[in-house]
Amino acid sequence: MAESERDANEDEALKARLERLKGALEQKRAEEPRRTPLDDVSAGATGRAFNLGVRVLSEFVAGLIAGVAIGLALDAWLSTKPLFLIVFLAFGTAAGFWNVYRIAAGPQGRRRGGS
């Protein structure tokens, strides 16, 4: 019976400790205001990020649309139905990715000490 009493005492001690920790956690939560990840982001930074996203999307889509338009026009003019559409779709996709890369890389000014 001594072992079951010891187990009961350990359970009670653990329950008491759990209640103390629970109370301390609730007190800590009540002291500090709840924060979200967007609390640290200013409205200006959010606007700039949105503008950059729209610019990246429009550059990529413009490359695709230009490639499809040129491909369809050449196919209609030369009567080669899907050939130029496929070729210029690939070129438009590559141009779109290249534009997105240039935006992501940022401006490249003159380097120091070299040409």
Q: Is residue 65 part of a domain?
A: yes
User: Quick one: tokens of 36?
Assistant: 């979200």
Q: Residues 83, 77: contact at Cβ < 8 Å? A: no
For the chain, what is the domain count?
2
Q: Is residue 39 part of a domain?
A: no
Check residues 33 and 20 and name the one with the higher pLDDT. 20
Instruction: State the pLDDT at residue 109.
Output: 60
Q: Is residue 63 part of a domain?
A: yes
pLDDT tens digits, residue range 48-102? 888 999 999 999 999 999 999 999 999 999 999 899 999 999 999 999 999 999 9
pLDDT band at residue 3 under the 50/70/90 scheme: confident
User: Quick one: tokens of 39?
Assistant: 């609390």
**Same domain membership, residue 89 and residue 64:** yes
Backbone torsions φ then ψ of 75, nearest 5 degrees: -65, -40
